[in-house]
């Protein structure tokens, strides 16, 4: 058991699930939430009132704070788990010195919209965090299933596998199995792209396409992921590992997938704005679609599914027409 302090930044469902996971092995957890009301509720009732509210926390191990600088300075290991679109605002008062000497892991699975950067690159460029001190938490792991303690698998990736090994041991428990990887870029971009493809799957479901077509869509999607991550960071990797293919499958098929849910609403005819308001949760794939579309102008990778989702979400093309055109390109 490793008792090194860990700080979690974020108050949503995935941040809540990570706090639950770490509570099994870590005796000192600092948990930053934005809302003072949420912090007071958790401190009083030991539950997050907004997400995974059935999970009860051991406040002997967890300290809640709304001071993000204090939370970061409290620990040598930081886990970021806020939606990518809100990360810059959350870190607005933070300086490079606050991250000095710390390992920073992203559990966000998104791209910073204005900067077209994955979280690791954003931390490196904005806060001078050395690449070897940056990591990614990924894998097929829905927060809702963590709350129910259903067996799940996580991959902890970092160029320097020592901090990744340490965090993997701290997160491993009866219902969480962990593996370690040094493929920080491949795992992070794959985690971003799978949200785009989950939206595509949801759109097809909303339009009335069946499981047969979805299977073809997803088999083409993993090839699209491979082409893109090989172009961005060409190293040896097995795209069939759970950090890549497994994460794609659960996000594309699961009823817990907010990106699939968002896509289903679009396929049924709802506007993007209405679908976002109705869900009350952030579908990372919406922002990721535009970011990957723009980023791919540098690489010119053949990405027909991403292009179709982009045209539906941002150019207001007919979902039915786009998916029909896409179906002629799949094989």
Q: What is the pLDDT of residues 169-219, one digit of tens each?
A: 999 999 999 999 999 999 999 999 999 999 999 999 999 999 999 999 999
pLDDT band at 113 (very low <50, low <70, confident <90, very high): confident
Among the listed residues 115, 113, 118, the one whose alpha carbon sits nearest the alpha carbon of residue 290: 113
User: How far is 161 from 159, CA to CA, in rounded Å?
Assistant: 6
- List Cβ<8 Å contacts ≥24 apart for 287-290: 287/84, 287/85, 287/110, 287/111, 287/113, 288/84, 288/110, 288/111, 288/192, 288/193, 288/195, 288/196, 289/196, 289/199, 289/313, 289/314, 290/113, 290/314
* Entry pTM: 0.93
**Residue 40, token pair as written in the block:** 């007071």
Distance of alpha carbon 249 from the chain centroid: 14
Full DSSP string of 151-206: -EEEEEE-SSHHHHHHHHHHH-BTTEEEEEES-HHHHHHHHHHHHHHHHHHHHHHH
Q: Write down the residue that tokens 């896509």 correspond to.
A: 263
Question: How large a percentage of the chain has pLDDT more than 90?
Answer: 92
**Residue 145, token pair as written in the block:** 């299933």
- List Cβ<8 Å contacts ≥24 apart for 54-61: 54/147, 55/16, 55/17, 55/20, 55/147, 57/19, 57/20, 57/23, 58/23, 61/23, 61/26, 61/27, 61/28, 61/29
Query: What are 61-93's pLDDT values in tens digits?
Result: 999 999 999 999 999 999 999 999 899 999 999
User: How far is 141 from 145, CA to CA, in rounded Å?
Assistant: 7
Among the listed residues 186, 316, 290, 279, the one whose alpha carbon sits nearest the alpha carbon of residue 239: 186
Domains of the chain: 6-182 (3.40.50.720), 191-327 (1.10.1040.10)
pLDDT band at 281 (very low <50, low <70, confident <90, very high): confident
End-to-end CA distance of the chain: 49
Query: What are 224-272's pLDDT values in tens digits?
Result: 999 999 999 999 999 999 999 999 999 999 988 999 999 999 999 999 9
**Residue 132, token pair as written in the block:** 């070897």
Residue 1 has pLDDT above 50, yes or no: no
Catalytic positions: 194
Residue 40 has pLDDT above 70, yes or no: yes
């Amino acid at each position: 058991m490793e008792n090194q302090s860990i700080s979690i930044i974020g108050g949503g469902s995935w941040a809540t699930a990570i706090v639950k996971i770490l509570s099994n092995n870590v005796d000192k957890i600092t948990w930053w939430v934005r809302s003072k009301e949420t912090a007071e509720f958790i401190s009083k009732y030991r539950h997050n009132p907004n997400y995974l509210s059935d999970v009860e926390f051991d406040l002997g191990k967890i300290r809640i704070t709304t001071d993000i600088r204090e939370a970061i300075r409290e620990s040598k290991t930081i886990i970021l788990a806020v939606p990518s679109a809100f990360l810059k605002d959350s870190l607005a008062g933070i300086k490079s010195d606050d991250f000095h000497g710390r390992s920073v892991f992203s559990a966000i699975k998104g791209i910073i919209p204005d900067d077209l950067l994955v979280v690791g690159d954003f931390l490196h460029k904005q806060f001078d965090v050395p690449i070897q001190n940056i990591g990614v938490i990924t894998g097929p792991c829905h927060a809702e299933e963590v709350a129910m303690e259903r067996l799940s698998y996580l991959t902890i990736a970092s160029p320097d596998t020592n901090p990744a090994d340490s965090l993997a041991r701290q997160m491993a428990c009866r219902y969480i199995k962990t593996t370690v990887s040094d493929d920080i870029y491949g795992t992070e971009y794959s985690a971003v792209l799978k949200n785009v493809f989950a939206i595509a799957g949801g759109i097809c479901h909303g339009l009335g396409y069946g499981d047969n077509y979805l299977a073809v869509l997803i088999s083409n999607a993993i090839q699209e992921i491979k082409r893109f991550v090989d172009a961005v960071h060409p190293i040896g990797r097995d795209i069939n590992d759970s950090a890549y293919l497994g994460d794609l499958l659960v996000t594309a098929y699961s009823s817990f997938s907010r990106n699939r849910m968002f896509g289903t609403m679009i396929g049924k005819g709802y506007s993007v704005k209405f679908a976002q308001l109705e869900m009350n949760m952030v579908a990372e794939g919406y922002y990721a679609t535009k970011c990957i579309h723009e980023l791919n102008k540098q690489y010119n990778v053949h990405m027909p599914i991403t292009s179709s989702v982009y045209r539906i979400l941002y150019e207001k093309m007919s979902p039915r027409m786009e998916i029909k055109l896409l179906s002629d390109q799949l094989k």
